[in-house]
Amino acid sequence: MTALELAAAVKLKKLSVSEAVSNYIESIEKNDKKINAFTAVSKEKALSCAKKIQTRLDAGEDISPLAGVPIAIKDNISTEGIETACASKMLGGYVPVFNAVVIEKLEQAGMIVIGKTNMDEFAMGGSSETGAGGAVCNPWDLTRVAGGSSGGSAAAIAAGIAPIALGSDTGGSIRQPCSFCGVTGIKPTYGAVSRYGLIAYASSLDQIGTIGQDIEDCAAMLEIISGSDSVSGRDSTCIIKSPFSFDLDKNNIKNLNGIKIGLPKNYFESGIDSEVKTAVLAAAKELEAAGASIEEFEMPLMDYLIPAYYIIACAEASSNLSRYDGLKYGYRSANGKTLSDVYRLSRSEGFGLEVKRRIMLGSFVLSSGYYDAYYKKALQTRALIKDAYNKLFSRYDMILSPVAPTTAYKQGENVDDPIKMYMGDIYTVSINLAGLPAAALPCGFDKQNLPIGFQLIGDAFSEKKLIDAARVFQSRTTHHLNKPGGFQ
């Protein structure tokens, strides 16, 4: 079942909330050894919450369209009483005493947290291989990566061991795993969802979003988590007052007449696998057949997207991760004899290679001799990228592009080649730099039966328009219904 179908079955008393939760926990226990999607499972707490939700439903309370549905949470989102370690030795054993705002809202809506999902350490990576607990395996081929950094959430949905999940997206970390695992995800506009309780990687880029089996599940959960932070001052960047409201009536899926979609032709000229190109262009044809008009254009500043993103992201990461010093909380080396030793050894032993690489790069571009040459120029480039998107959205309702230039690659293939890994983000990072929304959808498979995804990109706070178009696409295709075998 989709999450919405599961909630409907619970409401009709075809199964109880406890049965729904127990079934998924049993499925995790049977299957997760294969894919390593979870870092923690909260069985007792989830079953206790399930009984409370059942009592509310039995009393006739209309809680939400997703009441009674279990949910998996990425390991960088704070959950009270459940370890939240960002898949890092540095935070191993850290159990928050508070919930992130999104968790507060999900629990108010009657959803039940069943566990935390694996990821790249501190969300730094594009393959979910850098976590302290080992790599996430792609359910379609266990020798391949699940994408990153929200690979655990996407893999759990693909394998059917969780009905719906939360991820975070800093430069494609929801969309790329969705593409690699054949599931659906939404990266909302920056400021649409409170980041309070999201452990920061790059604060001006991070955004919590939804991952599900189809666009309607993702949209229903986005309705719940979006909107203002209920307590003033917790996240000053969360700027919308009311949550999104989408019409998800299956009898009210409209055509796309009058919708103009831009297609960046230089995204398809080089560096993209031919099978990915064919599948994404076929998705554009499907939307055109549904009434949309498709027009090609040249995406500006393409050569500057990756450099600008990684300079800004690493600079912010260097600042955000400076708090992990072995003193206040987190890992502390047992070998430190002096204060300097404690700092140096705790950070050297507690952080993985990729995190240390990004901290070093960020510290370099922020240093006094290089700030103007790198960081300042990257910020200027970011402004140009945002301005370019503003001009594009004066011409188009949305933009259609690939999510990644390839399908899921073999585990270990790019670990020793960070530049190649970073270039895999070429189609996703500009959306975060500009703070825009995007929806990732499966659109086919390559010859090795690996999923291919595309994304629809919109202007700020145009999520409804993107979701309407995505619903049309999924009503006309069956890519999102395909599931990998071998899971119970």
Q: How confident is the model at residue 328 (pLDDT cuts 50, 70, 90)?
A: confident
Amino acid (1-letter code) at residue 119: M
- The residue type of 147 is G
Label residue 434 left, alpha or beta by phi (over 0 means left) and psi (-120 to 50 means alpha): alpha
User: What percent of the chain lies above the pLDDT cut of 70?
Assistant: 100
pLDDT band at 136 (very low <50, low <70, confident <90, very high): very high
**Beta carbons of 211 and 157 less than 8 angstroms apart:** yes
pLDDT tens-place string over residues 19-69: 999 999 999 999 999 999 999 999 999 999 999 999 999 999 999 999 999
Choose among 438, 441, 448: nearest CA to 479.
441
Whether residue 9 is predicted with pLDDT greater than 90 in this model: the reply is: yes
Q: Are strands 398-402 and 112-117 parallel, antiparallel or unpaired?
A: unpaired
How far is the C-alpha of 470 from the C-alpha of 86, rounded, in Å?
Answer: 31
pLDDT tens-digit profile of 358-412?
999 999 999 998 999 999 999 999 999 999 999 999 999 999 999 999 999 999 9
Task: Write the CB contacts of 227 (distance below 8 Å, at least 6 apart in sequence).
Answer: 105, 192, 240, 241, 242, 243, 244
Please state the rounded mean pLDDT for residues 66-83. Answer: 98
DSSP 6: H
Q: Read off the tokens for 361.
A: 């790069």
* Burial profile 432-466: b = 16 or more Cβ within 10 angstroms, e = fewer: bbbbbbbbbbbbbbbeeebbbbbbbbbbbbbbebb
Please report the pLDDT score of residue 400 as a whole number.
Answer: 98
Could you report the per-residue pLDDT of 421-440, keeping only the tens digit for each? 999 999 999 999 999 999 99
Catalytic residues: 74, 149, 173
> How many other β-carbons are positioned within 10 Å of the β-carbon of residue 108?
12
Q: What is the mean pLDDT of the chain?
A: 96
Q: What is the DSSP letter of 410?
A: B
Write down the pLDDT at residue 277: 98
